[in-house]
């Protein structure tokens, strides 16, 4: 058995299984598991922090039935564009995380969960604690102002 992870364009210590659809400008940290075996779409501009797992399959039923249920369950999972997944967070199969959301460090987004856009999700199980839509707008405005000031200073 090889002790090396399969190569990928994101991080040499990330494990990417199957053929997930990964958008432009995605960053994936070390020690992550990106499971595309059941269908996975990661939108543009997502950041997936170290130790996170994004899953699209489970062997739980097969295991606990002593393989009487000899099937691997698979469900498509989706992260919308510009989703931040915190360190050691887990997104279980079938979850759909709306764009511009933050999954807090250590949170567990349950199977089949539907997370609305601009959500802050924390805890085990993961729960939406509030919308971050206004904050995202503020952060965008602050970033634009900082870029404009930097450009003005460079002239």
Q: Which domains does the chain have, with CATH numbers?
A: 15-154 (2.160.10.10)
pLDDT value at position 101?
Answer: 98
Judge contact between 94 and 57, C-beta under 8 A. Answer: no
Is the bond leading into 125 cis (omega within 30 degrees of zero)?
A: yes
pLDDT single digits (tens) 21-34: 999 999 999 999 99
How many C-beta atoms lie closer than 10 Å to residue 106's C-beta? 16
Q: How confident is the model at residue 7 (pLDDT cuts 50, 70, 90)?
A: confident
pLDDT single digits (tens) 69-84: 999 999 999 999 999 9
Dihedral, CA of residue 27, residue 41, residue 77 and residue 58, to nearest 10: -80
pLDDT value at position 4?
Answer: 79
For residue 94, what is the DSSP state? T
Of residues 131 and 152, the one with the higher pLDDT is: 131
pLDDT value at position 3?
Answer: 67
Judge contact between 80 and 43, C-beta under 8 A. Answer: yes
The share of the chain scoring above pLDDT 90, in percent, equals 90
**Rounded-to-integer distance, Cα 2 and Cα 17, Å:** 15
Does pLDDT of 13 surpass 60? yes
pTM listed for this prediction:
0.92
Average confidence (pLDDT) over 43-47:
98
> What residue ranges in the chain does DSSP mark as E strands?
15-18, 21-22, 27-28, 33-36, 40-42, 47-48, 53-54, 57-58, 73-74, 77-79, 84-85, 90-91, 96-97, 102-103, 108-109, 114-115, 119-122, 127-131
Does pLDDT of 2 surpass 90? no
């Amino acid at each position: 058995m090889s002790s090396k992870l399969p190569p990928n364009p994101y991080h040499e210590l990330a494990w990417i299984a199957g053929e997930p659809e990964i958008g432009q400008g995605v960053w994936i940290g070390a020690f992550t598991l990106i499971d595309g075996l059941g269908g996975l779409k990661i939108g543009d501009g997502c950041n997936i922090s170290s130790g996170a797992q994004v899953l699209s399959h489970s062997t739980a039923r097969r295991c606990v039935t002593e393989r009487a249920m000899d099937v691997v369950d698979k469900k498509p999972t989706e992260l919308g564009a510009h989703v931040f997944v915190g360190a050691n967070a887990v997104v279980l199969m079938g979850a759909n995380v709306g764009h511009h959301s933050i999954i807090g460090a250590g949170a567990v987004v349950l199977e089949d969960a539907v997370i609305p856009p601009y959500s802050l999700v924390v805890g085990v199980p993961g729960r939406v604690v509030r919308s971050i839509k206004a904050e995202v707008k503020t952060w965008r405005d602050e970033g634009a102002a900082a870029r404009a000031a930097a450009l003005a200073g460079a002239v």
